[in-house]
Amino acid sequence: MKNIEWSSLTFGYMPTDYNVRCYYRNGKWGEVEVCSDEYLKLHMAATCLHYGQEAFEGLKAYRCPDGKVRVFRVEANAERLQNTSRGIVMPEVPTELFTEMVKKVVRLNQEFIPPYESGASLYIRPLLIGTSAQVGVRPAEEYCFLIFVTPVGPYFKGGFCANPYVIVRDVDRAAPLGTGMFKVGGNYAASLRANRRAHEQGYASEFYLDAKEKKYVDECGAANFFGIKNDTYVTPKSSSILPSITNKSLMQIAEDLGMKVERRPISEDELDSFEEAGACGTAAVISPISHLDDMDTGKVYNFGEKPGPWSTKLYNTLRGIQYGTVEDKHGWTTVVIE
């Protein structure tokens, strides 16, 4: 294993030894290439640079206490990238190719997979970009699919602890019939202004209401929202949020733990009734929300300064499945290194 201060890692980029790449030309995917260069040589008129033909994914590999390395829900990430590809007219990366490349890049960089005790993990970042030149607005003919990895610590300082969020009304990350349900760079570009302001004001992240009516809950920055009341896990249904794989898993785990699960529109007024609330995602895992400020109305929604009992149970079960200490009864993990 590399000599790295694993337990002081934050969620950032660190160079590793290899990335893997595959090119789409003449209507088909080529051979997988192993590369040690961190840079790409791109045509200056590539569609990814001008017209946002860019999609990415995010998943993690975990070094487990039984000595194995597991990745979480790799097929679900492949399927979401395929859906995103259909959304912005790019060729689909087949699930087998996606999975083969994930396994390869993790194995090639195994010295960078943090030890179990550190609480850190290996973040896997697949990226699909249009590479051929266009000046008119139309899809590229050629694409590059690449995957790099980087060891990461918690997305929010302190890991599993409650953080404040702030509702924004003057910025939308995605339109109701736009690209919010796809994992494309443009959504993140649209969020940067609000995200920077939230950080400057001391919040963990900005919190979006639906773009059309500003009445319903959408997302917590780069994570989905869930609220808990009366032993029920409630999460928004909206056309402009990213279908989070973590959230999907938590809905199943909640059910397995005996909770009721509801996926439906959540009005801002309803926020007052939740006993616990949190943000969830690959990077965020579960990040409980301490309070949510609505600066326009002066309203503050309080969910507790400490992670609540259901959030803690959900967090421990999810982590347990990812680290192979809780039975993986839904077949979510893939052992990459025995």
In the complex, minimum distance from the CB of residue 178 to ligand PLP, in angstroms, rounded to a whole number: 13
Token code pair at residue 333: 């993990």
Please count the other Cβ atoms lying within 10 Å of the Cβ belonging to residue 274: 23
3 state SS of 281:
strand
What distance in Å separates the CA atoms of residue 210 and residue 268, rounded to the nearest whole number? Answer: 10
Residue 220 near ligand COI by CB under 6 A: no
Q: Which of 16, 19, 282, 290 binds ligand COI (CB under 6 A)?
A: 282
In the complex, minimum distance from the CB of residue 38 to ligand COI, in angstroms, rounded to a whole number: 18
Considering the complex, state which of residue 46 and residue 321 has its C-beta at the smaller distance from ligand PLP.
321
Which single residue brings its beta carbon nearest to ligand PLP? 281
Considering the complex, state which of residue 165 and residue 301 has its C-beta at the smaller distance from ligand COI.
165
What is the DSSP code (8-state) at residue 209?
Answer: B
CB–CB of 260/212 below 8 Å? no
Considering the complex, state which of residue 299 and residue 319 has its C-beta at the smaller distance from ligand PLP.
319
Q: Which does 224 bind (CB under 5 to 8 A by kind): ligand PLP, ligand COI, none?
A: ligand PLP
Q: Which does 120 bind (CB under 5 to 8 A by kind): ligand COI, ligand PLP, none?
A: none
Considering the complex, state which of residue 83 and residue 134 has its C-beta at the smaller distance from ligand COI.
83
What distance in Å separates the CA atoms of residue 309 and residue 73, rounded to the nearest whole number? Answer: 26
Q: Which does 119 bind (CB under 5 to 8 A by kind): ligand COI, ligand PLP, none?
A: none
In the complex, minimum distance from the CB of residue 243 to ligand PLP, in angstroms, rounded to a whole number: 7
Considering the complex, state which of residue 179 and residue 282 has its C-beta at the smaller distance from ligand COI.
282
Which residue is associated with the tokens 């990238």? 81
Residue 283 near ligand COI by CB under 6 A: yes
Considering the complex, state which of residue 226 and residue 303 has its C-beta at the smaller distance from ligand PLP.
226
Token code pair at residue 303: 């969910």
Residue 281 near ligand COI by CB under 6 A: yes
Residue 194 near ligand COI by CB under 6 A: no
Q: Which parts of this chain interact with ligand PLP (CB under 6 A)?
A: 58, 219, 222-224, 242, 244-247, 281-282
Considering the complex, state which of residue 47 and residue 287 has its C-beta at the smaller distance from ligand PLP.
287
CB–CB of 185/49 below 8 Å? no
Cα dihedral sign for 59, 84, 196, 245? negative
Question: Could you tell me which stretch among 250-258, 279-287, 311-319, 328-336 binds ligand COI (CB under 6 A)?
Answer: 279-287
Residue 222 near ligand COI by CB under 6 A: yes
Which amino acid does the sequence have at 147? I
Residue 152 near ligand COI by CB under 6 A: no
Cα dihedral sign for 310, 72, 113, 336? positive
Q: Which does 242 bind (CB under 5 to 8 A by kind): ligand COI, ligand PLP, none?
A: ligand PLP
What distance in Å separates the CA atoms of residue 180 and residue 37, rounded to the nearest whole number? Answer: 32
In the complex, minimum distance from the CB of residue 11 to ligand COI, in angstroms, rounded to a whole number: 7
3 state SS of 322:
helix
CB–CB of 260/229 below 8 Å? no
Residue 5, φ and ψ in degrees, nearest 5: -75, 80
Which single residue brings its beta carbon nearest to ligand COI? 58
Q: What is the DSSP string of 39-79?
A: -----TTBHHHHS--EEE--EEEEE-TTS-EEEE-HHHHHH
Please, which residues have CB within 8 angstroms of residue 259's CB and are 6 or more apart in sequence? Answer: 228, 231, 232, 233, 310
What distance in Å separates the CA atoms of residue 215 and residue 12, rounded to the nearest whole number? Answer: 34
Residue 128 near ligand COI by CB under 6 A: no
Considering the complex, state which of residue 21 and residue 73 has its C-beta at the smaller distance from ligand COI.
73
Contacting positions for ligand COI (CB under 6 A)? 58, 222, 281-283
